[in-house]
Amino acid sequence: MIPLGTAGTYTIVAKTGISTVPSSSITGNIGIAPAAMTYITGFSFTSADASTPSTSSQITGAAWAPETTGSTSPQAAADMLTAYNNGAAQGPATATELNGGALDGLSLTKGIYKWSTTVVLGVGKTLTLNGACGDIFIFQASGAISTGANSIINLVGGVKSNSIYWVGATSLTTGVASQFAGIILTGTNVVIAGSLNGAVYTQTQVALQKATVTPPTTCPSLDANAATWSFSGAAITW
């Protein structure tokens, strides 16, 4: 796993801006730093007072900026840079330049996949990630990462989105009505135009275009003392 630090307490962290074309739906907190709250746009916040966490009908959670009392967004921004550098340095690669960066129709198992080119999942195409719960997938790209409209990242056999990392030196863009999964760590801007089960951490800005963003799924865990299974927040106790 790539340690996320404080960034892991946010669904989206960006340094220079977060925008939405309404209506988007984000589950979890969003944070910005070093830019101010005024660089989070399109959310129609219920309060103009940036010293308190800002709320919006588009966010199940709150927006945080450096001027917000008690904000951890500056630390989250620092931690996401550490996570990005960590992800970019992971190796050795399981495969390099796989299929020339074309993900269409591939079925992959756990590993580190590295490209010096752009990486593309085409319109209406599917990438299948197959494995057990806890299997880690790291995708490293020197070029832009993009997915087309109606494309799908299909998780099979227990793979969870909190174990998938997309580490892009430049941008990442998802298409309209696409289904994307994983933790996004990029050097430049991110555009989400479909659904994302995961999180976004970018060194620049995030643009949401009628997007749906939900926190990454995780493996179930057993507390042996309390005999409690928890599944991404839901619990069954006996």
pLDDT of 189 reads 98
pLDDT of 34 reads 98
SS (H, E, C) 180-229: EEEEEEECCCEEECCEEEEEEEECCEEEEECCEEECCCCCCEEECCCCEE
From the number of C-beta atoms within 10 Å of its C-beta (0-12, 13-18, 19+), residue 93 rates as: middle
pLDDT of 201 reads 98
- Please check whether residue 201 is in contact with residue 80, taking contact to mean a CB–CB distance below 8 angstroms: yes
Q: Which helix (H) or strand (E) holds 179?
A: strand 179-186
Q: Measure the CA–CA gap between 106 and 153, rounded to whole angstroms.
A: 10
> pTM above 0.75?
yes
pLDDT of 50 reads 84
pLDDT of 48 reads 75
pLDDT of 227 reads 41
**Average pLDDT of adjacent 10-residue blocks, the chain of 238 residues:** 97 98 97 97 89 95 96 98 98 98 98 98 98 98 98 98 98 98 98 98 98 96 46 44
Q: Measure the CA–CA gap between 9 and 135, rounded to whole angstroms.
A: 22
From the number of C-beta atoms within 10 Å of its C-beta (0-12, 13-18, 19+), residue 150 rates as: middle
- Per DSSP, the three-state class of 74 is helix
CA-closest candidate to residue 199, choices 41, 44, 87: 87
pLDDT of 141 reads 98
How far from chain centre, in Å, is Cα 120? 17
- Please check whether residue 50 is in contact with residue 67, taking contact to mean a CB–CB distance below 8 angstroms: yes
Q: Measure the CA–CA gap between 100 and 102, rounded to whole angstroms.
A: 6
pLDDT of 102 reads 98
pLDDT of 24 reads 98
pLDDT of 221 reads 73
Q: Measure the CA–CA gap between 178 and 191, rounded to whole angstroms.
A: 12
- Per DSSP, the three-state class of 78 is helix
